Amino acid sequence: MTEHARQLILVARDERLDPAAELYLAEHLATCGECRAFRLQLERADRLIALPEAAVAVPSRIPVATDRPRLRLAAAGAVVLLLVGLVAGSALRQLRQPAGESGVAQATASPPRTFLFLRTPPLGDSLGGVRLEASPEEVRAALGEPLTAELLGNVQWRYSDVRIIFDGLSLDRPGRVVRVLAQPPSGLRTSEGFTAGGTVEEFRRAYQVYWVASVGDRPLATLTVNGLDARGRDVTVSATFDGTGRAITLGLFRGRVSAVAPATVLPSRTPLAVGPYQADSRWREELEAAVRDVRTRLAIRPLIPDYVTFQVMPAVSLRSGCGLATTDCIEYRFQVPGETAYVYVLQGAAGCCLDAARPNATLGVEIRPGVRGQLIPNQDEFGGPILWWVEETAPGSRVYVALSGPNVADGELIKIARSMRPLQP
C-alpha cells in the first residue's frame, strides 16, 4: 500500500477523483490486496456510522417550567453562573451545609429532570427598595438622606448599612444607580429573596445555583450570578461569605462581572440537573457491607465516606488490572436513579493511576492534616471538578483516591473527601 493510494481511497469517499487519479487508483487496487482491504474497511465503517438510530422518543415540547411564568423570560439569555470561590482551607471546613441538603433542597425546588436554562430566574433589579438606574431622588425617597456622599470615581452615597453607587458622574450632574452594596445588619433583600447576612444555602436556593466553590488561599468565598433582568439587561448579584457561611456583603450591579481573577473564575452550567430523589439513610451501611464483601480481594484498605452529595445506594465494583497496578481498584458510584447525576470514587494502590501534578490543577488541597490533594476545578470545558490524592490508610496500604462528579461542585468533593475514613478491620 502506498500512502498516495491510501489518501486517494480516503478522498474518494467524499468526492469524485479526477480521471487520472481514478485510473491510477483503479490500477493500483487491482494489484494491491492491502489497499482493497483498506477500502473495504472504510466502506464498512461508513455503513456502520450511517446505520440509523432506533426510533427515539422526543420530549413533547421544549421543557418550560410552567409553574414559574417569570422564568420563561430568562431563556433570552440564560444565566451564566460564575463562582469565584476563594476559600481558605480552614474557612472551607466551616462553609458547611447540612448533610444532603444541597442536592435534596435543589431537587425539591426543581421537579423537572431536564433542562434548566428556562428555569433560571431573571434577576430582579432592586435591592431593598433601591432600583438599578434609579435617580438620586428615588434613592432618597427609599432610604432617606445619605450619611455621606463621596466622589470615588463614581459618586457613592453611604448609609449605615448600604452604599449606593451612581454612574460615574458628579454630584452636580447626578447619574443613575449602577450598584447597590449592602452589609448586615441591613437585612436588605433582593427580588429573589436573598438577604444580606443570608447563608450559602439560601443563596443557592434563591438563585437555583448548585455549582459552587473553588479553592483558593483567601478566607472568603464569593458567589456571583450573572443574568438578565426581566427587560433583558445584564444584572449581577454577588455575595461574599465569611468563614461561617454568612453573607457579609450583598451586591446588585448593572452589567456583568467579568473575571475577578481569571484562574479562579469557574463558569458552569447551572443549576443542578437533578430531579427529586429519595435519599436513603442506609447508604453508608450498605456501602460498608459491600466493601467488606470484597475486602479480601483488595491490596489496600479503602476509605469509606461519611458524607456524599447524593445519598443513595452506591454501586460498588472492582476493576482488575487497574492502571499500572497489578491489584484491583475499587469503585463506588452514587447515582441518582433515573438521572445523570452521580458521584464517583475510585481507589487503588498508590501509583496505579495518574497522580502526578497537573498543570491546571490546584495543588495542596487539604484533605486532612498531612494529606493534600489536587483539584481540577469546575471549568466550562470540563464536566466537573476532579479531586485526587494519595493517602496511607494502614501500614503498607498507600491508597490512590479520586473523586469526581459532573454535577457536583468542587467544594462538595472536598467535603466528601474529608469525610472519608479507612474501613475498620
Partner 1 sequence: MTETEEGAIAIPIGAERGPDWDALYRVHAGALLRYLRRLTRSQEVAEELMQEAFARAIRARRFPAVADEVRPWLYRIAANVAIDHLRRQRRFSFVPFMGREPATEVPTDEADLVRRALWAIPPEQATALVLRLHEGFSPAEIAAMLGIGEAGVKSRLARGRQCFIKAYLRIGGRL
> Binder to partner 1 among 92, 330, 346, 417 (CB under 8 A)?
346
9 closest CA partner among 33, 35, 44, 48 = 35
Which span sits near partner 1 by CB under 8 A: 8-16, 189-197, 218-226, 411-419?
Answer: 8-16
Q: How far is the CB of 17 from partner 1 (least distance, A)?
A: 13
Q: Does 396 help bind partner 1 (rule: CB under 8 A)?
A: no
Q: Does 326 help bind partner 1 (rule: CB under 8 A)?
A: no
| Residues between 28 and 47 with contacts to partner 1, criterion CB under 8 A | 40-42, 44-46
Pairing of strands 265-268, 80-84: antiparallel
Q: Does 80 help bind partner 1 (rule: CB under 8 A)?
A: no
Dihedral in degrees, nearest 10, Cα atoms 210, 268, 165, 126: -50
Q: Does 169 help bind partner 1 (rule: CB under 8 A)?
A: no
**Residue linked to cell 468526492:** 15
What cell does 75 get?
Answer: 431563556
Q: How far is the CB of 103 from partner 1 (least distance, A)?
A: 18
Q: Does 52 help bind partner 1 (rule: CB under 8 A)?
A: yes
| Residues between 92 and 131 with contacts to partner 1, criterion CB under 8 A | 114-118
Q: Does 153 help bind partner 1 (rule: CB under 8 A)?
A: no
What cell does 264 get?
Answer: 479562579
Q: Is residue 251 within 8 Å of 183, Cβ to Cβ? A: no
- Cα 161 to Cα 110, 127, 146, 155, 182: the distances in Å are 34, 13, 11, 17, 6
Residues 6+ apart with CB under 8 A from 190: 123, 124, 126, 127, 206, 237, 250, 252
Establish whether the linkage from the previous residue to 185 is cis, with ω within 30° of 0: yes
Residues in contact with partner 1, counted by CB under 8 A, come to a total of: 64
Q: Does 353 help bind partner 1 (rule: CB under 8 A)?
A: yes
Interacting residues with partner 1 (CB under 8 A): 7, 10-11, 13-15, 40-42, 44-46, 48-54, 56, 58-59, 61-64, 66, 69, 72-73, 75-78, 114-118, 273, 315, 317, 319, 322-323, 331, 333, 339-340, 344, 346, 353-354, 358, 376, 381-384, 386, 388, 402, 404, 406
